Amino acid sequence: MVVLGALCHSMAGSLEAHYTNYNFSITFPEGWLIAKTPPNKLVVAGVSTNRLMTVAVASFKIQPGDENTALPQMNAGLKNLMSKNGQKVTEGQKTVGGISFHTFTGTMSLKTTAAAYTTSAGGRLYMIQTSSDADNAGTDPAIQSIVNSFHLLSAPAKTK
């Protein structure tokens, strides 16, 4: 779960944020608080006004030669971390913006759920992290509207 402190600002209206250095865009609904300086190497992080839901995106450049192993290694590490934290992890697939994401959903406590979405595209790894103390993070309509808004700004180069 991403913890955001006082370094947030509120949005009047929805915010479609473009991150050209990371080649993606994502939209947060009206009223969400967006971190001015996201923690822990995140590109963007937001929290609902009632502070019960969070969504954050991380992106990492894939090193040359690691194209075939980077995503499986990230997925294995994420599943291991979620399992170590006592979560029962359910895996699946979800297509967002024409890109296939591997999904992980886990329950951290009686009230808190987490869902993560991972993919690789255009030489980058992407991970969308979500959590909710109000509903299932993997199905909550507000969280899913943010996840479903994710898209690449330019199509990744085709590989032979």
- Per DSSP, the chain holds a count of helices (H) and strands (E) of 2, 11
Report, in angstroms and rounded to the nearest whole number, the Rg of the chain calculated over CA atoms.
15
Looking at 3.40.50.1820, 3.30.530.20, 3.40.1000.10, 1.10.1040.10, the CATH number of the domain 8-152 comes to: 3.40.1000.10
- CA proximity to 76, closest of 54, 102, 101, 99: 102
Give mean pLDDT, residues 50-60.
Answer: 94
pLDDT of 97 reads 87
In this prediction the pTM is: 0.87
> What digits encode the pLDDT tens for the residues 120-131?
999 999 999 999
Domain residue ranges of the chain, discontinuous segments joined by +: 8-152
- CA proximity to 53, closest of 141, 148, 149, 151: 141
> What digits encode the pLDDT tens for the residues 65-78?
999 999 999 999 99
- Residue 84 banded pLDDT, cuts 50, 70, 90: confident
**In sequence order, which residues have a C-beta less than 8 Å from that of residue 14 and are 6 or more positions away?**
27, 28, 29, 30
Higher pLDDT, 11 or 145: 145
- Residue 13 banded pLDDT, cuts 50, 70, 90: low
Higher pLDDT, 27 or 17: 27
